[in-house]
Structure 1
Amino acid sequence: MDIIFFSIAALLMILGVMGSILPVVPGVPLSWCGLLVFHLAPSVPVNYWFLGISFFVAALIYILELVIPAMGTKRFGGSRAGVIGTTIGLIVGIFTPIPFAILIGPFVGAFIGEMINKSNSKSALRAAIGSFAGFLASTFMEFMAAFIFLILFLVKFWEYRQIIF
């Protein structure tokens, strides 16, 4: 039974790290669910403090992930159209076979969104840079949190490896 819980937890942790880069999958919440499933295994004692603190961190990171790109766009003079363009550009970038399209897509999307909303290309470029910077910052933050959760998972697994197997 423990092996099933460990396998599900490991799958959630891997999906969480992948999801921290892909915009469709909520990376940090999946990673936290992996930690939760691991602690639900019959032979692993539940550490409520560990789960509570990691849940708080996961919720905070998830909220910041949604707020930071918008803050970057607004900080550089962008609008809602720039944020929407960033999201569309990111989704298009994921499915485009061009190398680095996932990085270029949000910038181009924000620029196009701002050009539709504004007539001045200089302010649209500035907002696109802000949106792109916010996207990179939030993606990096989410990836680091999911990676730290993965390390915590591996440490906990190593600690209880004799009991699980």
Structure 2
Amino acid sequence: MFVIVIIFMIIGLIGVFIPGLPGNGLIFLSTLGYGLLTKFEKISMSMIIFFGILTMLAFLFDYAASILGAKKFGATKAGIIGGVLGGLSGILVFSLPGLLIGQFLGTLIGELYYGKALNVSIKSGFGTIIGYVLGVIVNTTIGLTIIGLFILKVK
């Protein structure tokens, strides 16, 4: 069972990078499932609650990072919507590089549509990417922390 949980955790860690795949939520659910199936013999309920808190923080930061990154660099609502749509389109066509390029271009197009100047629109596009990268760094750190603590407790 331990190996299956680790496989789900690795899928969750990959999901931190790729929108649409479950990320830290899957990592958390893997620990919770393991705890339930083993009646919390090796991992305590308090540890599961701690993992849940970390997971909620990851969700909050992930949500806020891209939006705050874009806003910090002057993006409007149209730019943020464009970034989301561009990122989703980009990942479907060109995988992870497409996600970044799509977010940038989507924000750029959204800002231009809103009437912003090209240089300001480019700045907003970079802000979206910076926010995404910061979100990935924080989410990866949280995911690896949960996985590491889980392995230490269970093995």
Q: Check conservation: 1:82, 1:131, Cα contact below 8 A.
A: no
Note the alpha carbon deviations across 1:25-49, whole angstroms, 9 max, x for none: 3311111111111112336514122
Consecutive unaligned residues in structure 1, runs of 5 or more: 160-165
Runs of 4+ with deviation above 4 angstroms = none
- TM-score w.r.t. the length of structure 1 is 0.82
Q: 1:85 to 1:13 in 2, by over 3 A?
A: same
Match of 2:113 in 1: 116
- Relative to structure 2, which stretch is displaced further, 96-105 or 23-32? 96-105
Match of 1:162 in 2: none
- TM-score w.r.t. the length of structure 2 is 0.87
1:152 shift after superposition = 2.6
Residue 18 of structure 1 pairs with residue 14 of structure 2: yes
Note the alpha carbon deviations across 1:96-125, whole angstroms, 9 max, x for none: 247822322211111111111124112111
Aligned Cα root-mean-square deviation (Å)? 2.1
Residue 125 of structure 1 pairs with residue 122 of structure 2: yes
1:77 shift after superposition = 1.0
Q: 1:138 to 1:99 in 2, by over 3 A?
A: closer
Q: What is the count of residue pairs matched by the alignment?
A: 154
Rg larger for: 1
Aligned pairs (5 A) from 1:39-118: 39-42=35-38, 44-45=40-41, 46-97=43-94, 100-118=97-115
- Relative to structure 2, which stretch is displaced further, 44-53 or 63-72? 44-53
